Amino acid sequence: MKKIMKFSFNKALFLIWLVIFIGISIKSPSFLTAPYIINVMLRNIVEIGMVALPMTLIIITGGIDLSVGNTMILSAMLGGIAYTKWGTAAAVLATVLTGAACGLLNGVIIAKAKISAMVTTLATMYLFLGLARGISKGDSVYSYGFAEALGNTSLAGLPIQIWIYILLAVIFTLLLGKGLFGRKLYSIGLNVNATRYSGVNTDRMLIIIYTVCGIICALAAFIFLGRFTSVKYDAGTSFNLKVITIVVLGGTSIMGGVGDMKGTILGTLIIATLNSGLTVMNIPIDVQTIVQGVVLIIALIACAVVTERSKKKRIIKVDTGQTVKAEPV
């Protein structure tokens, strides 16, 4: 029954995307061109789509990360500053280490101090924002060769960041859908205490996924900096909610235990199509925001229905001979 519902939800998402895509194409024929689809629709959503992949893992466990945009910008700024002083190698290392450190900090506080993910990452969001402002003194940080290569280079007719997204999407889909690791994440989202009692090191699992999310934010920082050539400390302010919107739109329950990568990928396509389509139709930005809000509300209602049904009888095997049942909802 669960597989049927999951398939139906993803199929519905695909049909929604198809209707939106065809409708915009009819209204604005210039939208239906390869250069526009590749260089505008897809290229402009890559960073958000990339971070939505590990965010899916986090939300499936019942957590959330409100600091991803600020992690990305802080990583980009420290990398840019390192480049001006020590060169490309130092810039790359500084960017990746900053992203990993931000994610690790979130994971350790959530897992070890047992502080809720929302409170923790809300606090670190402001922490990372303040650090970015203080370090940069409010000035912009400019791009450099490595970031520009990731942000502006093409391979086989596609921008290289799209290839990176495709590779990451495949890896995260396999990670969540195949093997024990994915089953443990679902189990944590359904009942973290029972999962811990079954022998799973839930603290380590949480620290891993938040750290991975920070590293992906660092990778997104390279692409973001390369595309825009410069960034300011507050450039990631709206990034956080856009990432969460994609994940929830894709059917991942904010209560945990339900969701998959296919839905997140489809959610990315829907948001990318809406953003670029409404822009090419000259729809004002405030109306675009309202449309996205309505779409998200509809997705939340649909996801709540699926979550309610799928949690009632769901059992996840997390170890040989042991199972974890969802808590009553």
What pLDDT does 1 receive? Answer: 43
What pLDDT does 317 receive? Answer: 55
What pLDDT does 288 receive? Answer: 79
Q: What single-letter DSSP state applies at residue 327? A: P
Report pLDDT digits (tens) over 46-81.
Answer: 999 999 999 999 999 999 999 999 999 999 999 989
What pLDDT does 285 receive? Answer: 80
Report pLDDT digits (tens) over 228-246.
Answer: 888 888 888 888 888 998 9
83 close to 144: Cβ distance less than 8 angstroms: yes
Tell me how far apart the alpha carbons of residues 329 and 327 are, in angstroms, rounded to a whole number.
Answer: 6
pTM for the full predicted model:
0.89
Helix and strand counts by DSSP (H, E) for the chain: 14, 6
Residue with tokens 């990318």: 272
Q: pLDDT averaged over consecutive 10-residue blocks of the chain (329 residues)? A: 55 86 87 83 90 97 96 94 90 96 98 96 96 89 82 86 95 89 94 92 97 97 88 86 90 88 93 86 82 76 65 52 49
- Residue ranges of domains in the chain: 2-325
What pLDDT does 309 receive? Answer: 62
What pLDDT does 241 receive? Answer: 86
261 close to 58: Cβ distance less than 8 angstroms: no
CB contact set of 123 (below 8 Å; sequence gap of 6+): none
What pLDDT does 118 receive? Answer: 96
Tell me how far apart the alpha carbons of residues 113 and 19 are, in angstroms, rounded to a whole number.
Answer: 46
Burial of 152 (0-12, 13-18, 19+ CB in 10 A): middle
φ/ψ of residue 16, rounded to 5: -60, -45
SS3 of 316, please? strand
Residue with tokens 């495949």: 170
32 close to 25: Cβ distance less than 8 angstroms: yes
Task: Kindly give the residue spans of alpha helices, DSSP state H, lying in 155-236.
Answer: 160-177, 180-190, 192-197, 202-228
What's the CATH architecture for 2-325? Orthogonal Bundle (1.10)
